[in-house]
Amino acid sequence: MRTAYQYKLKPSKDQIATIELWLELLRRQYNYRLGERFSWCEENRCPVNASPFITPIPQLTDNPDYYSQKKDLVNTKDKFPEYKLIHSQVLQDCIKRVKLAFDRWFKADKNGQKLGKPRFKKKNRYRSFTYPQIKHNCIVNQRIDLPKIGSVKLIQHRPLPEGFQIKTVTISRKADGYYVTLSLEDKSVPYFPDVKLTTENTLGIDMGLKDFLVTSNGESVPIPQYYRSSQKRLRTLQKRLSRKKKGSNRWLKAVKAVGKQHKKVADKRKDFNFKTANELLSKADVIAHVDAERRAGGKLKY
């Protein structure tokens, strides 16, 4: 079984400077590797219906795939020594993100839909980096040991579940600070335990527009409308933002204030969703919901 726990970080000024430097360098590396792939596609494509009968055939260059770009990181560190400050696996994960972005562009998802063309990351738009591997005992006394960053204080509001191992660690920057997300795994816990379906241990829910959800027992959960209740405050903050000169220090402070207000709304929604799910699971062992795409057929998903 795979799950994730998120904690807020309290880094020092030097650690914040290191994290911000890593994010900026990784953003540049992401854009460079993305540009390599775009350049190869432009230089080596030739539409059949528009090609002339007589034309010199250019020498095809190697396709910059995941392995070749990861191998080229050695040359990047030689030309730009500042990349040696970044953990090697974190730098390799940046190349993996480029690969995944291209795979999602060319391949359809499980619903048969393709995503749009990958875009270059603007400044402050690259907000996270990942350690693919880390020590299992990296958290000691409310502090997490991050390679090449140091021991960072965190707010561990709940302990890690017993038996789970830390697989990956992601550091992300949000409107109100920095967070660490731990991806945990315990192979002994099954995803779908063997439970016999009965009318007593099964509960059906239907997500709607008038109500947040309606259960098979006739109970309804109203929509909390957190965004509607915060619109007055958002309107005030956005008016202040519109009066500031773009790019100035006051404009940056106003942007952060708007971002924090949006994050408050998102946190309230997340808290409401978790509490509602916990309440439903306390009433039944199996939860079934109506598939919106097949609502006419009345089919359920478990």
pLDDT in tens, 202-216: 888 888 888 898 888
75 is a domain residue: no
Residue 106 is predicted with a pLDDT of: 81
Q: Residue 48 pLDDT > 80, yes or no?
A: no
Regarding whether 167 and 221 lie in a shared domain, the answer is no
- Does residue 275 lie in a domain region? yes
pLDDT (tens digit, 9 = 90+) per residue, 265-281? 999 999 999 999 899 88
Could you tell me if 175 and 207 lie in one domain? Answer: no
The verdict on 207 and 279 lying in the same domain is yes
Percent of the chain beyond pLDDT 90?
A: 59
Residues 221 and 274 in one domain: yes
Alpha-carbon distance of 201 to 196, in angstroms, equals 8
Structural domain includes residue 36: no
- Residue 33 covered by a domain: no
- Residue 40 domain flag: no
Using alpha carbons, select from 212, 229, 231 the residue that is nearest to residue 221: 212
Q: What is the pLDDT of residues 184-193, one digit of tens each?
A: 998 887 776 6
175 located within any domain: yes
pLDDT (mean) for 240-254 = 93
* 295 shares its domain with 228: yes
Rounded to an integer, what distance in angstroms lies between the CA atom of residue 271 and that of residue 240?
A: 29
Q: What percent of the chain is modeled with pLDDT above 70?
A: 90
223 and 282 in a single domain? The answer is yes
Query: How large is the angle between the packed helices 231-242 and 249-283, nearest 10 degrees?
Result: 160
In a domain, 173, yes or no: yes
Number of domains in the chain: 2
Domain enclosing residue 265, as ranges? 202-301
